[in-house]
Structure 1
């Protein structure tokens, strides 16, 4: 029979597992390793104005997801005001409204931004070229400034850079000084670029510095080379590129703050930086994501903790399959070691080993007595279960009385599995002798310890919980191991005499 379909299924599982894991890392920025730290910015905008006693409407531009920064949460404080979040092609805005307000007013907006490693350029619609009209003598001055910068440039970016330098103090000529007496620098540069056929707009950004208060937005020049490619320029220095600590606050070529029904309006910003574990930051980042609402991360924290343990079981199963199929270790029960390993995670390894050996040893003694009663299987196993519960209870009470709180965790052992383990070992003792009991019992204990070491590894716990595609890879590996029909490592000792001859 052809094995091609089998290997295609295995390859598909591995490809899906790797693909979904890589996509989750790249798209949602879930870290590969535990303990990574991410920088978190808490930014507060305060809007101050004086209301005139009439209806008031306040529009404030809001930031959006962009290169290097992603919004986690945002909140507002505006007692008595109605609030709406609006979004159109120009960007996001918060709109407060009230029927009557008088005197000094303060509105608050706060946002938590996560610093990310995303370096992809944000896609923004290219602004249309504006019809620029100049009055005399500014039309002549503008034409001469454009002509001079155009001759020393080769593309929109170099033209913008040369144009900005012509307005610097070192190279500022009479034409530039004349234009600056009538127009604000950034708006003037946009007008000149548009007249030269270069698409450009004025954008507002916030320079992030830890612990700064009452900061204002700075103006930047966004110049387009084509419909998709753009670059930021500092209108004061001509420097090209977006600084790492620059958060673009308004990029839709609209006013940052618009107040109707009030005067003396202004907006100031305060900011604070702190570090947060990457895993927690990603959970906050994706808490409202519609795709994630169908995943484990949308569950309450208690259920998430439960699934974090459940998702470790395939790791233990892989260890059992490897040891039984390739190594040839004999165990008492197929996956009993995995459940014992789960108990070890709760009790710690040393406490779990001592408790497991004591329970099984005392259980075998009591089970040996029950064998003389000639009970039916169901009744005998039920009696063993009750015995195991009694043994665990006695050990827990004695540990507490002796001040050994670690002994209380022995209650995490799976009682039904322990009862069946005692039953199987007792039957094996009667049929095969104590040697086989020691072989299978020791193999089960070794397998449980190795499974515990694998399942309790912080890196493995992080990967299995945050990248569900790993489960597909584990399935593929188990299928490949299940296809193995060769000799086990422990069976090779049978051929030792042949090698000696």
Structure 2
């Protein structure tokens, strides 16, 4: 029979598991190592205005995912106001409304931004050129001269914008620039001149992030699109410096107003900010990204179910350990996967407490099971009696531990009672058929396997990888399939060849 389909399935599982894990790490920045720290900025915007004793509507532009930053969480505080979030091709906005308000008003918006060097800026559509607004004389000739001078010194839209900013605000500022600046803001003037030269550009608003700063305002930046309308460059409106500073957060990038207030006057928005570090796992858990097939994540479940799956996803690790030790090493165990369940109990109880509890329960259970064998009961009745016995033993040990002040002994209840009952039954039959030596061999092998599985499953790195990268389950499946195809000698069986090697040695 051809083994090609088998190797195809194994290869597919390996490739799928590795691809899913790498995708989650690269695309969603899930760390490989637990305990990794990420920088997070907490920013609070305070909106203040005077309400005119009537209905009020307040619109505030909100930040979005962008190059270097991702939105984690956001909250608002606005007593008595209705709140709605709006999103369209121009960005995101928060809208507060109230039927009647009077006097000083304050609205709060806070957001957590994750510093993410690998985050990419969303695709932005170049703005359409606004209708041409004719300059009045003598402003028209001054504008044309500034455009002509910068155009001759440039090679493309970006260099044209840089030269124009230098002509308006830089060292080459002349009477024409000063004349136009008397009637226009620097950033708005540069954008108007760029649009007049058929260069698509707009004014965007950014926040310079500095730890511990309070009552900061947004600064204006000029976004200039290339001839293809897809790539763009950012310029400082006064210095002409090109590029986005690392600590600049673009708060509004569509060219619209940052704050609009209807039904109020004297409106303004100020910002306070501070930075801190938090575990990368917590940052990822708060990540506002939609689940897709490749981003299939347990984090979308409620916390109670997440805690349950965090333990369940460790079982394949224990299964791999059992397969390795039984198929490749040759260790004998009492029951196929009983050591995995015992290892899970060790995780709940701690290793020392679990070992002592397991040995006590099995030892006492074997004594009682030995008595039951003289009653000649049927198998079902005998196993049921053993189950009740195990429950009684666990109850007695728990009460004694509590009375003696040994709180760790209370965790013995985490042991799987049905599995313990079957273990006692199997060991008792093994004792009767093959003697105490085989009981010690299989019982000791089971404990050794359970301890090794516990050490692997309880590793922080293993728990982190299995919980955050579900593709690892495909990899484990492929490895188990490969081990299941092994038909060679087990390591412990090589002892049979020791006499042969001794005979071959020269005397």
Per the alignment, residue 412 of structure 2 pairs with 410
Per the alignment, residue 469 of structure 1 pairs with 471
Taking a change above 3 Å as real, the CA distance of residues 80 and 380 of structure 1, as seen in their structure-2 partners, is: closer
Determine helix, strand or coil for the equivalent of 1:223. Answer: strand
Determine helix, strand or coil for the equivalent of 2:386. Answer: helix
Taking a change above 3 Å as real, the CA distance of residues 10 and 294 of structure 1, as seen in their structure-2 partners, is: closer
Tell me how many residue pairs correspond in the alignment: 500
Measured after TM superposition, the shift of residue 308 of structure 1 is 0.5
Contact 2:54/2:100 (<8 A) preserved: yes
| Gaps in structure 2 of 5+ consecutive residues | none
Which of 256, 259, 267 is the matching residue for 1:254?
A: 256
Give the 5 Å matches for 1:357-376: 357-376=359-378
Taking a change above 3 Å as real, the CA distance of residues 424 and 273 of structure 1, as seen in their structure-2 partners, is: same
Taking a change above 3 Å as real, the CA distance of residues 80 and 352 of structure 1, as seen in their structure-2 partners, is: closer
Measure the CA separation in 2 of the matches of 1:481 and 1:161.
64
Deviation by residue 1:369-393 (Cα, 9 ceiling, x = unmatched) = 2222222222222222222222222
Measure the CA separation in 1 of the matches of 2:242 and 2:119.
16
Per the alignment, residue 281 of structure 2 pairs with 279
Taking a change above 3 Å as real, the CA distance of residues 360 and 92 of structure 1, as seen in their structure-2 partners, is: same
Contact 2:57/2:95 (<8 A) preserved: yes
Per the alignment, residue 444 of structure 2 pairs with 442
Measure the CA separation in 2 of the matches of 1:422 and 1:117.
57
Taking a change above 3 Å as real, the CA distance of residues 330 and 314 of structure 1, as seen in their structure-2 partners, is: same
Taking a change above 3 Å as real, the CA distance of residues 465 and 290 of structure 1, as seen in their structure-2 partners, is: closer
Determine helix, strand or coil for the equivalent of 1:449. Answer: helix
Measured after TM superposition, the shift of residue 167 of structure 1 is 3.1
Contact 1:132/1:194 (<8 A) preserved: no
Determine helix, strand or coil for the equivalent of 1:101. Answer: strand
Please report the TM-score for the alignment, with normalisation by the length of structure 2: 0.94
Per the alignment, residue 219 of structure 1 pairs with 220
Per the alignment, residue 129 of structure 2 pairs with 129
1:100 paired to 2:100: yes
Measure the CA separation in 2 of the matches of 1:277 and 1:46.
28
Give the 5 Å matches for 1:165-184: 165-184=166-185
Measured after TM superposition, the shift of residue 460 of structure 1 is 0.6
Measure the CA separation in 1 of the matches of 2:95 and 2:28.
30
Per the alignment, residue 481 of structure 1 pairs with 483
Contact 2:40/2:113 (<8 A) preserved: yes
Per the alignment, residue 245 of structure 2 pairs with 243
Per the alignment, residue 428 of structure 1 pairs with 430
Per the alignment, residue 6 of structure 2 pairs with 6
Deviation by residue 1:26-78 (Cα, 9 ceiling, x = unmatched) = 33222222112222222222222222234333222122222222223323333
Measured after TM superposition, the shift of residue 97 of structure 1 is 3.0
Contact 1:312/1:455 (<8 A) preserved: yes
Deviation by residue 1:234-293 (Cα, 9 ceiling, x = unmatched) = 11222211122211111111111122222211111122322222212222224x735599
Contact 1:132/1:191 (<8 A) preserved: no
Measure the CA separation in 2 of the matches of 1:213 and 1:99.
31
Measure the CA separation in 2 of the matches of 1:353 and 1:337.
12
Greater CA deviation, 293-302 or 356-365?
A: 293-302
Measure the CA separation in 1 of the matches of 2:84 and 2:417.
57
Measured after TM superposition, the shift of residue 347 of structure 1 is 1.0
Per the alignment, residue 146 of structure 1 pairs with 147
Deviation by residue 1:120-167 (Cα, 9 ceiling, x = unmatched) = 233111012232522222222222222222232222222222222223
Per the alignment, residue 158 of structure 2 pairs with 157
1:269 paired to 2:264: no
Measure the CA separation in 2 of the matches of 1:143 and 1:499.
98
Determine helix, strand or coil for the equivalent of 1:38. Answer: strand
Per the alignment, residue 351 of structure 2 pairs with 349
1:194 paired to 2:195: yes
Per the alignment, residue 327 of structure 1 pairs with 329
Measure the CA separation in 1 of the matches of 2:256 and 2:171.
32
Measure the CA separation in 2 of the matches of 1:172 and 1:7.
73
Measure the CA separation in 2 of the matches of 1:450 and 1:429.
25
Measured after TM superposition, the shift of residue 477 of structure 1 is 0.8
Measure the CA separation in 1 of the matches of 2:497 and 2:302.
56
Measured after TM superposition, the shift of residue 445 of structure 1 is 0.9
Per the alignment, residue 300 of structure 1 pairs with 302
Per the alignment, residue 500 of structure 2 pairs with 498
Deviation by residue 1:406-453 (Cα, 9 ceiling, x = unmatched) = 111111111111111111111111111122111111111111011001
Per the alignment, residue 35 of structure 1 pairs with 35
Taking a change above 3 Å as real, the CA distance of residues 354 and 98 of structure 1, as seen in their structure-2 partners, is: closer
Measure the CA separation in 1 of the matches of 2:455 and 2:82.
56
Please report the TM-score for the alignment, with normalisation by the length of structure 1: 0.95
Contact 1:86/1:93 (<8 A) preserved: yes
Per the alignment, residue 74 of structure 1 pairs with 74
Determine helix, strand or coil for the equivalent of 1:104. Answer: strand
Contact 2:209/2:273 (<8 A) preserved: yes
Taking a change above 3 Å as real, the CA distance of residues 143 and 395 of structure 1, as seen in their structure-2 partners, is: same
Greater CA deviation, 160-169 or 56-65?
A: 160-169
Per the alignment, residue 47 of structure 1 pairs with 47
Measure the CA separation in 2 of the matches of 1:247 and 1:281.
18
Measured after TM superposition, the shift of residue 106 of structure 1 is 2.0
Determine helix, strand or coil for the equivalent of 1:201. Answer: strand
